[in-house]
């Protein structure tokens, strides 16, 4: 089996990222199926400790930052995230390096008999099992695992981690997880384990109540970052931001920190990382302040308010719900207050498109509506109907390349192109940009040729 045939084989399995499930239920998301299969292959997930991260906004950023910090201590780290931007292999990384094509194909070939013995196994479940086995083979010291969807029934929820974390909860996947913040929080809270510390990022009171109740019932120490940390942004520019952070009530011992990620919401995510690291240290891990500083400074997490300094500049973001789009507009207000904004937008049909448009369109001079043509994608003509309520001029583009060309003409030399609406749109546009403008690629770019 080579890499190409491995991908073809994997694509035969049901993928809820392409065709969404109709319910968050055991017949679709089956932890017993994952647990049984892991046992068949030797329980690789039990061979190393882990950190488990759920949430609506910021869970991927927190996972990436946590991994970068721990790697700075010279520990061997595993990182499992989803979805990917350009290459499926991005989801499985060891020490910041994506799994090679050869290793991926070998892994899938070795596990194929076990996979085929599991009835109704899904694409994401297979990817989760591949990651856990790969981390065991690579002898990682710790794995940082990002939840794919929800938490309670997510395939990653087979671990008993050293620390759990739940980043800010907002409305997303309502058709699957529930229509209220409390319902969604209850599904996220499903990752909380008996006696395992749970770190919570900033939350609405309704979400906080649910998380606290679940933690209390399981005797899990509950750490609210808003009660532990305070911070203040110092400066922000196109390459990142500088801020000070200190313990609540201990401002005289504040620390200056830089991160190459934009938006004050990323500083809130740093507070989650700080609490995760603190909990690990209390359990015997040696993670000095110098490693925290170094790890946060060098974290690589593209397409999250990422600015490519072309002419016109292009800001690529993976925002795909109202709350994350609101954070995007704050970054634009901060860094590009006078720029004429041209939006390139595409989204999945199950997303809150009206909510995203309400935050974006009033501040854009023009919107180019497009699609990746995935089964879940909303067609540009459908998006145009929804956009009509906001009085923003629109152009329809049949594909992302046409959308980028149209947006470049509309923005001119004095505007800015803003890309948002879905991870798939961000990934497609970003790939086009970095091919067209290689010099705009960040210095920390991953290599995908191995």
Cβ(129)–Cβ(111) below 8 Å: yes
Which pLDDT band, with edges at 50, 70 and 90, does 18 fall under?
A: low
Cβ(48)–Cβ(94) below 8 Å: no
* Confidence check: pLDDT of 22 > 90: no
* Confidence check: pLDDT of 445 > 50: no
Nearest of 151, 142, 106, 129 to residue 33 by alpha carbon: 129
The whole-chain average pLDDT of the chain stands at 92
Instruction: Please give the share of the chain, as a percent, with pLDDT higher than 70.
Output: 93
Domain ranges of the chain: 3-297, 306-440
Q: pLDDT by residue (tens digit) across 310-330? A: 889 999 999 989 999 999 999
Q: Which residues make beta-bridge pairs with 22?
A: none
CATH number of 3-297: 3.40.1190.10
- The DSSP letter of residue 171 is S
Which pLDDT band, with edges at 50, 70 and 90, does 449 fall under?
A: very low
Q: pLDDT by residue (tens digit) across 338-377? A: 999 999 999 988 889 999 999 999 999 999 999 987 778 8
* Confidence check: pLDDT of 253 > 80: yes
- The pTM (predicted TM-score) of the whole model is 0.93
* Confidence check: pLDDT of 25 > 60: no
Which pLDDT belongs to residue 100? 98
Q: pLDDT by residue (tens digit) across 50-105? A: 999 999 989 999 999 999 999 999 999 999 999 999 899 999 999 999 999 999 99
Which residue in this structure is represented by tokens 């109740």? 213
Q: Are strands 142-146 and 77-80 parallel, antiparallel or unpaired?
A: parallel
Return the CATH fold of 306-440.
Answer: 3.90.190
* Confidence check: pLDDT of 447 > 50: no
Q: pLDDT by residue (tens digit) across 115-147? A: 999 988 999 999 999 999 999 999 999 999 999
Q: Which two tokens stand for residue 385?
A: 């109907």
């Amino acid at each position: 089996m080579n890499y190409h045939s491995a991908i073809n084989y994997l694509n035969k399995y049901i993928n809820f990222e392409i065709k969404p499930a109709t319910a968050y239920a055991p017949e679709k998301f089956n932890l017993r199926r994952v647990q049984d299969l892991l046992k068949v292959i030797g329980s690789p997930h039990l061979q190393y400790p882990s950190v488990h991260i759920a949430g609506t906004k910021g869970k991927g950023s927190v996972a990436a930052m946590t991994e970068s910090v721990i790697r700075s201590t010279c520990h061997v780290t595993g990182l499992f995230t989803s979805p990917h931007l350009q290459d499926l292999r991005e989801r499985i990384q060891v020490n910041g390096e994506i799994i090679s094509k050869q290793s991926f194909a070998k892994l899938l070939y070795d596990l194929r008999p076990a996979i085929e013995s599991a009835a109704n196994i899904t694409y994401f479940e297979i990817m989760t099992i591949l990651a856990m086995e790969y981390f065991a083979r690579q002898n990682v010291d710790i794995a940082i695992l990002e939840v794919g969807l929800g938490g309670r029934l997510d395939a990653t929820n087979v671990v008993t981690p050293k620390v759990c974390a739940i980043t800010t909860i907002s409305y997303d996947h309502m058709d699957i997880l529930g229509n209220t913040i409390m319902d969604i929080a209850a599904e996220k809270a499903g990752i909380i384990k008996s006696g395992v510390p749970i770190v919570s990022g900033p939350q609405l009171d309704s979400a906080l109540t649910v998380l606290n109740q679940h933690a209390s019932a399981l005797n899990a120490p509950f750490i609210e970052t808003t009660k532990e940390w305070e911070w203040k942004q110092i400066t922000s520019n196109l390459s990142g931001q500088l801020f000070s952070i200190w313990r609540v009530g201990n401002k005289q011992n504040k620390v200056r920190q830089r991160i190459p990620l934009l938006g004050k919401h990323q500083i809130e995510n740093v507070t989650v990382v700080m609490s995760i690291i603190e909990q690990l240290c209390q359990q015997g891990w040696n993670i000095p302040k110098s490693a925290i500083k170094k790890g946060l400074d060098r974290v690589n997490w593209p397409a999250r308010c990422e600015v490519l300094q072309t002419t016109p500049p292009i800001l690529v973001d993976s925002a795909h719900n109202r709350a994350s789009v609101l954070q995007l507009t704050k970054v634009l207000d901060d860094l590009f207050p006078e720029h004429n904004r041209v939006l390139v937008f595409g989204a999945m049909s199950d997303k809150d498109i009206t909510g995203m448009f309400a935050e974006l369109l009033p501040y854009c001079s023009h919107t180019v509506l497009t699609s990746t043509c995935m089964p879940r994608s909303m067609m540009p003509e459908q998006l145009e109907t929804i956009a009509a309520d906001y009085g923003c001029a629109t152009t329809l583009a049949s594909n992302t390349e046409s959308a980028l060309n149209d947006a470049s003409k509309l923005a001119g030399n004095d505007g800015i192109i803003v890309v948002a609406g879905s991870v798939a749109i961000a990934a497609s546009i970003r790939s086009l940009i970095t091919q067209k403008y290689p010099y705009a690629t960040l210095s920390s770019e991953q290599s995908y040729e191995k």
